[in-house]
Protein backbone atom coordinates (compact mmCIF):
# COMPACT_ATOMS: atom_id res chain seq x y z
CA UNK A 1 0.00 0.00 0.00
CA UNK A 2 1.40 3.39 -0.99
CA UNK A 3 1.09 6.02 1.69
CA UNK A 4 1.24 9.76 1.43
CA UNK A 5 1.56 11.21 4.91
CA UNK A 6 -1.10 9.37 6.79
CA UNK A 7 -3.40 9.10 3.78
CA UNK A 8 -3.72 6.09 1.61
CA UNK A 9 -3.07 7.03 -2.01
CA UNK A 10 -5.90 4.88 -3.26
CA UNK A 11 -8.29 6.95 -1.14
CA UNK A 12 -7.89 10.10 -3.22
CA UNK A 13 -6.35 8.87 -6.45
CA UNK A 14 -8.81 9.39 -9.29
CA UNK A 15 -8.82 6.19 -11.29
CA UNK A 16 -10.26 5.66 -14.74
CA UNK A 17 -11.17 2.10 -13.70
CA UNK A 18 -13.63 3.55 -11.17
CA UNK A 19 -15.01 6.33 -13.37
CA UNK A 20 -18.47 6.03 -14.88
CA UNK A 21 -18.61 6.73 -18.59
CA UNK A 22 -21.70 5.73 -20.49
CA UNK A 23 -21.20 3.32 -23.32
CA UNK A 24 -22.59 4.73 -26.54
CA UNK A 25 -26.34 4.37 -26.32
CA UNK A 26 -28.24 5.99 -29.13
CA UNK A 27 -32.00 6.28 -29.35
CA UNK A 28 -33.52 3.33 -31.16
CA UNK A 29 -33.25 3.53 -34.91
CA UNK A 30 -30.42 6.09 -35.08
CA UNK A 31 -26.77 5.56 -35.98
CA UNK A 32 -23.61 7.47 -35.14
CA UNK A 33 -23.20 8.25 -38.83
CA UNK A 34 -26.62 9.95 -38.77
CA UNK A 35 -25.37 12.51 -36.28
CA UNK A 36 -24.23 15.40 -38.42
CA UNK A 37 -23.15 17.60 -35.55
CA UNK A 38 -19.55 16.93 -34.51
CA UNK A 39 -19.79 17.97 -30.85
CA UNK A 40 -22.97 15.92 -30.41
CA UNK A 41 -21.37 12.83 -31.96
CA UNK A 42 -18.06 13.18 -30.10
CA UNK A 43 -19.72 13.73 -26.73
CA UNK A 44 -21.98 10.69 -27.14
CA UNK A 45 -19.13 8.61 -28.50
CA UNK A 46 -16.81 9.42 -25.58
CA UNK A 47 -19.56 8.70 -23.05
CA UNK A 48 -19.69 12.31 -21.86
CA UNK A 49 -23.44 12.71 -22.22
CA UNK A 50 -26.38 10.42 -22.63
CA UNK A 51 -29.69 11.37 -24.17
CA UNK A 52 -32.59 11.22 -21.70
CA UNK A 53 -35.37 12.29 -24.09
CA UNK A 54 -35.34 14.27 -27.35
CA UNK A 55 -33.47 17.46 -26.51
CA UNK A 56 -32.60 16.55 -22.92
CA UNK A 57 -29.34 14.99 -21.77
CA UNK A 58 -27.73 13.46 -18.74
CA UNK A 59 -24.42 15.22 -18.15
CA UNK A 60 -21.97 12.56 -16.98
CA UNK A 61 -18.99 13.04 -14.63
CA UNK A 62 -16.42 14.39 -17.11
CA UNK A 63 -18.87 16.84 -18.65
CA UNK A 64 -19.95 18.11 -15.26
CA UNK A 65 -16.34 18.72 -14.25
CA UNK A 66 -15.79 20.83 -17.36
CA UNK A 67 -19.09 22.63 -16.78
CA UNK A 68 -18.20 23.46 -13.17
CA UNK A 69 -14.92 24.98 -14.35
CA UNK A 70 -16.80 27.09 -16.88
CA UNK A 71 -19.18 28.24 -14.13
CA UNK A 72 -16.15 29.29 -12.06
CA UNK A 73 -14.89 31.51 -14.90
CA UNK A 74 -18.35 33.04 -15.37
CA UNK A 75 -18.90 33.61 -11.62
CA UNK A 76 -15.56 35.41 -11.33
CA UNK A 77 -16.29 37.77 -14.21
CA UNK A 78 -19.89 38.41 -13.08
CA UNK A 79 -18.64 39.35 -9.61
CA UNK A 80 -16.19 41.81 -11.21
CA UNK A 81 -19.08 43.71 -12.81
CA UNK A 82 -20.99 43.74 -9.53
CA UNK A 83 -23.24 40.76 -10.20
CA UNK A 84 -24.81 39.04 -7.20
CA UNK A 85 -25.76 35.41 -7.62
CA UNK A 86 -29.29 34.30 -6.84
CA UNK A 87 -31.51 31.38 -7.84
CA UNK A 88 -35.08 31.85 -9.01
CA UNK A 89 -37.53 28.96 -9.29
CA UNK A 90 -37.69 27.25 -12.66
CA UNK A 91 -41.49 27.57 -12.37
CA UNK A 92 -42.77 31.09 -13.06
CA UNK A 93 -46.52 31.76 -12.69
CA UNK A 94 -48.02 32.09 -16.18
CA UNK A 95 -49.86 35.18 -14.94
CA UNK A 96 -46.55 37.09 -14.94
CA UNK A 97 -45.94 36.04 -18.55
CA UNK A 98 -49.45 37.11 -19.50
CA UNK A 99 -48.87 40.50 -17.86
CA UNK A 100 -45.74 41.09 -19.96
CA UNK A 101 -47.41 39.81 -23.12
CA UNK A 102 -44.69 37.26 -23.73
CA UNK A 103 -47.02 34.33 -23.00
CA UNK A 104 -48.56 34.62 -26.46
CA UNK A 105 -45.37 35.89 -28.11
CA UNK A 106 -43.46 32.75 -27.16
CA UNK A 107 -46.34 30.50 -28.11
CA UNK A 108 -45.73 26.74 -28.16
CA UNK A 109 -42.02 27.11 -27.35
CA UNK A 110 -43.01 27.97 -23.80
CA UNK A 111 -43.24 24.83 -21.68
CA UNK A 112 -46.11 25.04 -19.21
CA UNK A 113 -47.53 22.87 -16.46
CA UNK A 114 -50.48 22.97 -14.08
CA UNK A 115 -50.38 22.30 -10.35
CA UNK A 116 -53.10 20.52 -8.34
CA UNK A 117 -54.96 23.82 -7.85
CA UNK A 118 -55.10 24.22 -11.62
CA UNK A 119 -52.66 27.14 -11.49
CA UNK A 120 -50.52 27.29 -14.61
CA UNK A 121 -46.77 27.82 -14.54
CA UNK A 122 -44.18 28.40 -17.24
CA UNK A 123 -40.88 26.60 -17.11
CA UNK A 124 -38.89 29.72 -17.82
CA UNK A 125 -36.65 30.12 -20.85
CA UNK A 126 -35.61 33.45 -19.26
CA UNK A 127 -36.66 35.31 -16.12
CA UNK A 128 -37.28 38.98 -16.95
CA UNK A 129 -40.79 38.82 -15.48
CA UNK A 130 -39.77 36.98 -12.31
CA UNK A 131 -36.79 39.21 -11.51
CA UNK A 132 -38.67 42.45 -12.26
CA UNK A 133 -41.44 41.23 -9.96
CA UNK A 134 -38.85 40.90 -7.16
CA UNK A 135 -37.62 44.47 -7.60
CA UNK A 136 -41.17 45.81 -8.07
CA UNK A 137 -41.92 44.37 -4.63
CA UNK A 138 -39.45 46.85 -3.11
CA UNK A 139 -41.78 49.75 -2.43
CA UNK A 140 -39.19 52.11 -0.92
CA UNK A 141 -36.25 51.49 -3.26
CA UNK A 142 -33.85 54.45 -3.24
CA UNK A 143 -31.48 55.57 -6.01
CA UNK A 144 -28.72 54.91 -3.47
CA UNK A 145 -29.46 51.18 -3.68
CA UNK A 146 -28.97 51.12 -7.44
CA UNK A 147 -27.53 49.62 -9.53
CA UNK A 148 -28.84 46.16 -8.63
CA UNK A 149 -27.33 43.37 -10.71
CA UNK A 150 -28.75 39.91 -10.09
CA UNK A 151 -27.76 36.79 -11.95
CA UNK A 152 -28.34 33.09 -11.78
CA UNK A 153 -27.00 29.97 -13.45
CA UNK A 154 -29.96 27.61 -13.67
CA UNK A 155 -31.66 25.22 -16.03
CA UNK A 156 -33.90 26.84 -18.61
CA UNK A 157 -36.54 25.29 -20.84
CA UNK A 158 -37.66 25.76 -24.42
CA UNK A 159 -40.02 23.41 -26.18
CA UNK A 160 -38.11 23.29 -29.46
CA UNK A 161 -40.01 21.98 -32.43
CA UNK A 162 -36.91 20.09 -33.53
CA UNK A 163 -34.34 19.75 -30.76
CA UNK A 164 -31.04 18.89 -32.41
CA UNK A 165 -27.27 19.04 -32.31
CA UNK A 166 -27.00 17.68 -28.76
CA UNK A 167 -26.25 20.35 -26.19
CA UNK A 168 -26.34 23.06 -28.87
CA UNK A 169 -30.11 23.13 -29.18
CA UNK A 170 -31.79 21.23 -26.39
CA UNK A 171 -35.11 21.63 -24.66
CA UNK A 172 -33.51 21.94 -21.23
CA UNK A 173 -30.18 23.74 -20.88
CA UNK A 174 -28.02 25.57 -18.39
CA UNK A 175 -28.00 29.32 -18.80
CA UNK A 176 -26.44 32.25 -17.00
CA UNK A 177 -28.87 35.17 -16.96
CA UNK A 178 -28.02 38.54 -15.47
CA UNK A 179 -30.61 41.29 -14.94
CA UNK A 180 -29.54 44.82 -14.15
CA UNK A 181 -31.48 47.76 -12.72
CA UNK A 182 -29.95 51.21 -13.11
CA UNK A 183 -31.19 54.67 -12.16
CA UNK A 184 -30.66 56.27 -15.60
CA UNK A 185 -30.22 55.30 -19.24
CA UNK A 186 -26.67 56.64 -19.06
CA UNK A 187 -25.86 54.32 -16.14
CA UNK A 188 -27.60 51.41 -17.86
CA UNK A 189 -25.43 51.96 -20.94
CA UNK A 190 -22.34 51.96 -18.71
CA UNK A 191 -23.48 48.64 -17.25
CA UNK A 192 -24.14 47.35 -20.75
CA UNK A 193 -20.61 48.15 -21.87
CA UNK A 194 -19.05 46.61 -18.77
CA UNK A 195 -20.99 43.34 -19.17
CA UNK A 196 -20.04 43.12 -22.86
CA UNK A 197 -16.40 43.56 -21.81
CA UNK A 198 -16.84 40.84 -19.16
CA UNK A 199 -18.20 38.50 -21.84
CA UNK A 200 -15.20 39.19 -24.05
CA UNK A 201 -12.93 38.51 -21.07
CA UNK A 202 -14.62 35.15 -20.41
CA UNK A 203 -14.02 34.02 -24.00
CA UNK A 204 -10.49 35.37 -23.93
CA UNK A 205 -9.71 33.34 -20.78
CA UNK A 206 -11.05 30.30 -22.63
CA UNK A 207 -9.06 31.24 -25.73
CA UNK A 208 -12.19 31.06 -27.89
CA UNK A 209 -12.46 33.36 -30.93
CA UNK A 210 -15.67 35.17 -30.07
CA UNK A 211 -17.45 37.47 -32.50
CA UNK A 212 -19.58 40.26 -31.05
CA UNK A 213 -22.34 41.07 -33.51
CA UNK A 214 -25.00 43.75 -33.58
CA UNK A 215 -28.11 41.75 -32.85
CA UNK A 216 -31.82 41.62 -33.33
CA UNK A 217 -33.89 42.42 -30.26
CA UNK A 218 -36.35 39.60 -30.98
CA UNK A 219 -38.82 38.30 -28.42
CA UNK A 220 -37.06 39.81 -25.42
CA UNK A 221 -37.63 43.34 -26.61
CA UNK A 222 -35.62 46.44 -25.87
CA UNK A 223 -33.62 49.09 -27.62
CA UNK A 224 -30.21 47.69 -28.43
CA UNK A 225 -28.57 44.32 -28.39
CA UNK A 226 -25.41 42.41 -29.17
CA UNK A 227 -24.96 38.73 -29.80
CA UNK A 228 -21.85 36.71 -29.10
CA UNK A 229 -21.07 34.04 -31.67
CA UNK A 230 -18.62 31.25 -32.24
CA UNK A 231 -18.33 30.88 -35.99
CA UNK A 232 -19.06 27.36 -37.18
CA UNK A 233 -20.81 25.77 -40.14
CA UNK A 234 -23.24 24.09 -37.76
CA UNK A 235 -24.35 27.51 -36.44
CA UNK A 236 -27.92 28.55 -37.14
CA UNK A 237 -27.39 32.29 -37.27
CA UNK A 238 -26.13 34.14 -40.33
CA UNK A 239 -23.60 36.76 -39.37
CA UNK A 240 -21.83 39.32 -41.54
CA UNK A 241 -18.30 39.37 -40.22
CA UNK A 242 -15.31 41.45 -41.23
CA UNK A 243 -12.17 39.36 -40.87
CA UNK A 244 -9.99 42.47 -40.72
CA UNK A 245 -11.54 44.74 -38.09
CA UNK A 246 -13.82 42.15 -36.46
CA UNK A 247 -17.03 44.16 -36.94
CA UNK A 248 -20.04 41.86 -37.17
CA UNK A 249 -23.78 42.16 -37.53
CA UNK A 250 -26.57 39.59 -37.59
CA UNK A 251 -28.02 39.30 -41.09
CA UNK A 252 -31.56 39.63 -39.67
CA UNK A 253 -30.89 43.23 -38.64
CA UNK A 254 -29.70 44.59 -42.00
CA UNK A 255 -30.73 44.80 -45.60
CA UNK A 256 -27.93 44.04 -48.04
CA UNK A 257 -24.26 43.76 -47.11
CA UNK A 258 -23.38 46.18 -44.31
CA UNK A 259 -20.08 48.03 -44.16
CA UNK A 260 -17.77 48.38 -41.20
CA UNK A 261 -18.02 51.59 -39.15
CA UNK A 262 -14.33 52.27 -39.91
CA UNK A 263 -14.87 51.47 -43.57
CA UNK A 264 -13.37 54.80 -44.68
CA UNK A 265 -10.02 54.18 -43.05
CA UNK A 266 -9.92 50.62 -44.35
CA UNK A 267 -11.70 50.73 -47.71
CA UNK A 268 -11.16 47.06 -48.45
CA UNK A 269 -12.80 45.64 -45.34
CA UNK A 270 -13.70 42.09 -46.38
CA UNK A 271 -17.23 41.48 -45.15
CA UNK A 272 -18.23 37.82 -45.42
CA UNK A 273 -21.41 35.99 -44.47
CA UNK A 274 -20.63 33.29 -41.90
CA UNK A 275 -22.65 30.91 -39.77
CA UNK A 276 -22.48 31.46 -36.05
CA UNK A 277 -23.50 29.60 -32.90
CA UNK A 278 -25.00 32.20 -30.60
CA UNK A 279 -23.54 31.58 -27.16
CA UNK A 280 -24.38 34.88 -25.49
CA UNK A 281 -26.47 37.99 -25.80
CA UNK A 282 -26.81 41.40 -24.25
CA UNK A 283 -30.00 43.50 -24.31
CA UNK A 284 -30.53 47.01 -23.17
CA UNK A 285 -34.17 46.74 -22.15
CA UNK A 286 -34.89 50.27 -21.01
CA UNK A 287 -38.18 50.41 -19.10
CA UNK A 288 -40.07 47.75 -21.06
CA UNK A 289 -40.44 45.47 -18.03
CA UNK A 290 -40.03 47.98 -15.20
CA UNK A 291 -43.00 49.91 -16.62
CA UNK A 292 -45.21 46.83 -16.88
CA UNK A 293 -44.41 45.61 -13.38
CA UNK A 294 -43.89 49.08 -11.81
CA UNK A 295 -40.31 48.48 -10.77
CA UNK A 296 -39.52 52.00 -9.63
CA UNK A 297 -37.27 53.85 -7.20
CA UNK A 298 -37.03 57.28 -5.60
CA UNK A 299 -34.48 59.62 -7.16
CA UNK A 300 -32.50 62.45 -5.43
CA UNK A 301 -35.61 64.64 -5.44
CA UNK A 302 -37.73 61.83 -3.96
CA UNK A 303 -39.58 61.47 -7.24
CA UNK A 304 -40.58 58.02 -8.38
CA UNK A 305 -38.80 56.84 -11.53
CA UNK A 306 -38.70 53.59 -13.45
CA UNK A 307 -35.56 51.48 -13.32
CA UNK A 308 -33.58 51.18 -16.56
CA UNK A 309 -32.98 47.52 -17.18
CA UNK A 310 -30.61 45.27 -19.07
CA UNK A 311 -30.56 41.51 -19.47
CA UNK A 312 -27.56 39.40 -20.36
CA UNK A 313 -27.52 35.71 -21.15
CA UNK A 314 -24.83 33.09 -21.65
CA UNK A 315 -25.72 29.60 -22.80
CA UNK A 316 -23.51 27.65 -20.41
CA UNK A 317 -24.03 24.12 -21.74
CA UNK A 318 -24.08 25.58 -25.23
CA UNK A 319 -20.66 27.25 -24.74
CA UNK A 320 -19.23 23.88 -23.75
CA UNK A 321 -20.65 22.12 -26.83
CA UNK A 322 -19.81 25.01 -29.17
CA UNK A 323 -16.22 25.05 -27.89
CA UNK A 324 -15.93 21.33 -28.63
CA UNK A 325 -17.52 21.98 -32.02
CA UNK A 326 -14.94 24.59 -33.04
CA UNK A 327 -11.82 23.10 -31.39
CA UNK A 328 -12.14 19.37 -32.04
CA UNK A 329 -11.12 17.19 -34.96
CA UNK A 330 -13.57 14.64 -36.34
CA UNK A 331 -12.20 11.98 -34.02
CA UNK A 332 -10.84 13.73 -30.95
CA UNK A 333 -12.33 16.18 -28.48
CA UNK A 334 -10.40 19.32 -27.71
CA UNK A 335 -11.50 21.63 -24.88
CA UNK A 336 -10.52 25.14 -24.01
CA UNK A 337 -7.48 24.03 -22.00
CA UNK A 338 -8.69 25.38 -18.67
CA UNK A 339 -12.00 23.53 -19.04
CA UNK A 340 -10.59 20.06 -19.75
CA UNK A 341 -12.19 17.68 -17.22
CA UNK A 342 -8.71 16.67 -16.03
CA UNK A 343 -5.46 18.38 -16.99
CA UNK A 344 -3.28 15.27 -16.78
CA UNK A 345 -3.89 11.59 -17.45
CA UNK A 346 -1.18 9.17 -16.30
CA UNK A 347 -1.28 5.81 -18.05
CA UNK A 348 0.11 2.81 -16.15
CA UNK A 349 1.87 -0.11 -17.89
CA UNK A 350 -0.07 -3.11 -19.13
CA UNK A 351 -0.37 -5.94 -16.65
CA UNK A 352 1.57 -9.07 -17.54
CA UNK A 353 3.59 -7.23 -20.18
CA UNK A 354 7.35 -6.64 -20.30
CA UNK A 355 7.01 -3.41 -18.36
CA UNK A 356 4.48 -4.63 -15.79
CA UNK A 357 7.14 -4.25 -13.08
CA UNK A 358 6.74 -0.48 -13.67
CA UNK A 359 3.11 -0.49 -12.50
CA UNK A 360 4.08 0.84 -9.07
CA UNK A 361 6.01 3.65 -10.79
CA UNK A 362 2.77 5.07 -12.18
CA UNK A 363 1.30 5.25 -8.66
CA UNK A 364 4.49 6.82 -7.34
CA UNK A 365 4.50 9.37 -10.12
CA UNK A 366 0.91 10.30 -9.26
CA UNK A 367 1.96 10.74 -5.64
CA UNK A 368 5.04 12.80 -6.58
CA UNK A 369 2.97 15.15 -8.70
CA UNK A 370 0.56 15.61 -5.78
CA UNK A 371 3.53 16.61 -3.60
CA UNK A 372 5.33 18.86 -6.10
CA UNK A 373 2.33 20.37 -7.84
CA UNK A 374 -0.47 20.08 -5.25
CA UNK A 375 -2.69 22.35 -7.35
CA UNK A 376 -2.96 19.46 -9.82
CA UNK A 377 -3.97 16.87 -7.22
CA UNK A 378 -7.67 17.08 -8.05
CA UNK A 379 -7.03 17.61 -11.78
CA UNK A 380 -5.14 14.40 -12.45
CA UNK A 381 -6.38 11.01 -13.48
CA UNK A 382 -4.67 7.61 -13.36
CA UNK A 383 -5.68 5.28 -16.17
CA UNK A 384 -5.04 2.09 -14.24
CA UNK A 385 -6.94 -0.22 -16.60
CA UNK A 386 -3.95 -2.53 -16.74
CA UNK A 387 -5.84 -5.17 -18.70
CA UNK A 388 -5.83 -2.84 -21.70
CA UNK A 389 -2.82 -2.04 -23.86
CA UNK A 390 -1.09 1.30 -23.45
CA UNK A 391 -1.91 2.13 -27.07
CA UNK A 392 -5.63 1.63 -26.55
CA UNK A 393 -5.63 3.83 -23.45
CA UNK A 394 -3.58 6.56 -25.15
CA UNK A 395 -6.21 6.54 -27.90
CA UNK A 396 -9.01 6.88 -25.31
CA UNK A 397 -7.25 9.69 -23.46
CA UNK A 398 -6.54 11.48 -26.70
CA UNK A 399 -10.16 11.10 -27.82
CA UNK A 400 -11.41 12.63 -24.56
CA UNK A 401 -8.78 15.33 -24.92
CA UNK A 402 -6.86 15.52 -21.65
CA UNK A 403 -4.27 18.21 -22.41
CA UNK A 404 -1.34 16.14 -21.10
CA UNK A 405 -1.00 12.35 -21.31
CA UNK A 406 1.89 10.76 -19.41
CA UNK A 407 2.75 7.18 -20.30
CA UNK A 408 4.69 5.08 -17.82
CA UNK A 409 6.14 2.54 -20.23
CA UNK A 410 9.28 0.46 -20.56
CA UNK A 411 11.60 3.48 -20.65
CA UNK A 412 10.50 4.25 -17.08
CA UNK A 413 12.45 1.12 -16.05
CA UNK A 414 15.75 2.19 -17.62
CA UNK A 415 18.71 3.29 -15.48
CA UNK A 416 17.87 6.89 -16.47
CA UNK A 417 14.05 6.65 -16.33
CA UNK A 418 12.02 8.58 -18.90
CA UNK A 419 8.30 9.18 -19.21
CA UNK A 420 6.50 9.66 -22.51
CA UNK A 421 4.63 12.97 -22.43
CA UNK A 422 2.00 13.64 -25.09
CA UNK A 423 0.69 17.18 -25.47
CA UNK A 424 -2.69 16.72 -27.15
CA UNK A 425 -3.04 20.43 -27.96
CA UNK A 426 0.15 20.54 -30.05
CA UNK A 427 0.29 16.84 -30.95
CA UNK A 428 3.91 16.70 -29.77
CA UNK A 429 5.49 13.82 -27.86
CA UNK A 430 8.62 14.02 -25.75
CA UNK A 431 10.46 11.86 -23.25
CA UNK A 432 11.14 13.57 -19.95
CA UNK A 433 12.92 12.63 -16.76
CA UNK A 434 10.88 12.80 -13.58
CA UNK A 435 12.50 16.12 -12.60
CA UNK A 436 11.68 17.65 -16.00
CA UNK A 437 8.16 16.25 -15.88
CA UNK A 438 7.49 17.64 -12.41
CA UNK A 439 8.78 21.04 -13.52
CA UNK A 440 6.34 21.02 -16.41
CA UNK A 441 3.50 19.97 -14.08
CA UNK A 442 4.21 22.88 -11.73
CA UNK A 443 3.62 25.33 -14.57
CA UNK A 444 0.17 23.98 -15.51
CA UNK A 445 -2.48 26.51 -14.57
CA UNK A 446 -5.80 25.24 -13.24
CA UNK A 447 -9.04 26.93 -12.33
Q: Which is nearer to Zn ion, 143 or 241 (CB)?
A: 241
Q: Which is nearer to Zn ion, 87 or 264 (CB)?
A: 264
CB of 275 to Zn ion, least distance (A): 19
- From the number of C-beta atoms within 10 Å of its C-beta (0-12, 13-18, 19+), residue 245 rates as middle
**Rounded CA gap, 124 and 4, in Å?**
49
CB of 242 to Zn ion, least distance (A): 3
Instruction: Give the per-residue contact string, 305-344, with Zn ion (x = CB under 5 A; - = no).
Output: ----------------------------------------
Range list of H helices, 110-236: 128-136, 185-205
Q: Which is nearer to Zn ion, 210 or 242 (CB)?
A: 242
Residues 206-245 that bind Zn ion (CB under 5 A): 242, 244-245
- From the number of C-beta atoms within 10 Å of its C-beta (0-12, 13-18, 19+), residue 253 rates as middle
Distance of CA 22 to the CA centre of its chain: 21
Q: Which is nearer to Zn ion, 185 or 269 (CB)?
A: 269
DSSP 383-432: E--TTS-HHHHHHHHHHHT-SEEEE--GGGGSSS--EEEEETTTTEEEEE
260 near Zn ion (CB under 5 A): yes
Q: Which is nearer to Zn ion, 269 or 438 (CB)?
A: 269
Stretch of residues binding Zn ion (CB under 5 A), selected from 138-146, 258-266, 301-309, 312-320: 258-266
Q: Are 349 and 356 in contact (CB under 8 A)?
A: yes
CB of 32 to Zn ion, least distance (A): 40
| Pairing outcome for strands 84-85 and 148-157 | parallel
Q: Which is nearer to Zn ion, 244 or 331 (CB)?
A: 244
Stretch of residues binding Zn ion (CB under 5 A), selected from 64-72, 115-123, 154-162, 257-265: 257-265
Stretch of residues binding Zn ion (CB under 5 A), selected from 99-107, 254-262, 340-348, 405-413: 254-262
User: Which of 9, 269, 359, 413 is close enough to bind Zn ion by CB under 5 A?
Assistant: 269
- Residue 84 makes CB contacts below 8 A (sequence gap 6+) with 148, 149, 150, 151
Stretch of residues binding Zn ion (CB under 5 A), selected from 19-27, 259-267, 302-310, 415-423: 259-267
DSSP 339-358: GSS-SEEEEPPPTTSTTGGG
Q: Are 143 and 285 in contact (CB under 8 A)?
A: no
Q: Which is nearer to Zn ion, 244 or 303 (CB)?
A: 244
CB of 265 to Zn ion, least distance (A): 9
CB of 81 to Zn ion, least distance (A): 28
CB of 313 to Zn ion, least distance (A): 27
**Rounded CA gap, 76 and 78, in Å?**
6
CB of 244 to Zn ion, least distance (A): 5
Q: How far apart, in Å, are the Cα atoms of 190 and each of 7, 100, 373, 396?
A: 52, 26, 42, 47
* Tally: H helices and E strands in the chain: 12, 23
CB of 192 to Zn ion, least distance (A): 22
Stretch of residues binding Zn ion (CB under 5 A), selected from 67-75, 137-145, 246-254, 435-443: 246-254
Q: Which is nearer to Zn ion, 71 or 245 (CB)?
A: 245
Q: Which is nearer to Zn ion, 167 or 213 (CB)?
A: 213
Reduce the secondary structure of 285-309 to three states and give it as a string: EECHHHHHHCCEEECCCCCEEECEE
- Residue 150 makes CB contacts below 8 A (sequence gap 6+) with 83, 84, 85, 86, 131, 134, 178, 179, 180
Q: Which is nearer to Zn ion, 134 or 269 (CB)?
A: 269
- From the number of C-beta atoms within 10 Å of its C-beta (0-12, 13-18, 19+), residue 265 rates as exposed
CB of 276 to Zn ion, least distance (A): 16
Give, as one character, the DSSP assignment of residue 164: B
Instruction: Give the per-residue contact string, 121-150, with Zn ion (x = CB under 5 A; - = no).
Output: ------------------------------
CB of 209 to Zn ion, least distance (A): 16
CB of 224 to Zn ion, least distance (A): 20
Q: What are phi and psi of 242, to 5 degrees?
A: -95, 120
Q: How far apart, in Å, are the Cα atoms of 148 and each of 134, 176, 194?
A: 11, 16, 14
Count of residues in contact with Zn ion, rule CB under 5 A: 6
Q: Which is nearer to Zn ion, 267 or 427 (CB)?
A: 267
Contacts to Zn ion by CB under 5 A:
242, 244-245, 247, 260, 269
Amino acid sequence: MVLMGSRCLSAFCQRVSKMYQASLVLPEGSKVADIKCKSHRLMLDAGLIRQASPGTFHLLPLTLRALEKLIKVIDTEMRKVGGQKIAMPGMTPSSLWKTSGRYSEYGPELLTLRDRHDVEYCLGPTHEEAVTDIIAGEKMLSHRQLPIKLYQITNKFRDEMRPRYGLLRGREFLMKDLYTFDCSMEKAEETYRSVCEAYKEIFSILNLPIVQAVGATGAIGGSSSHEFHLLSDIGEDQVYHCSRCGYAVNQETVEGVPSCPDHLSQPECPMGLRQGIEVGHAFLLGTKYSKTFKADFFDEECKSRLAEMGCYGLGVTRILAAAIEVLSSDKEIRWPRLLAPYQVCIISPKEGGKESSAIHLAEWLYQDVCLHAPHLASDMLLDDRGHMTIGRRVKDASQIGYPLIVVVGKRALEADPKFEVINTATGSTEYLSKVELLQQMESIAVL
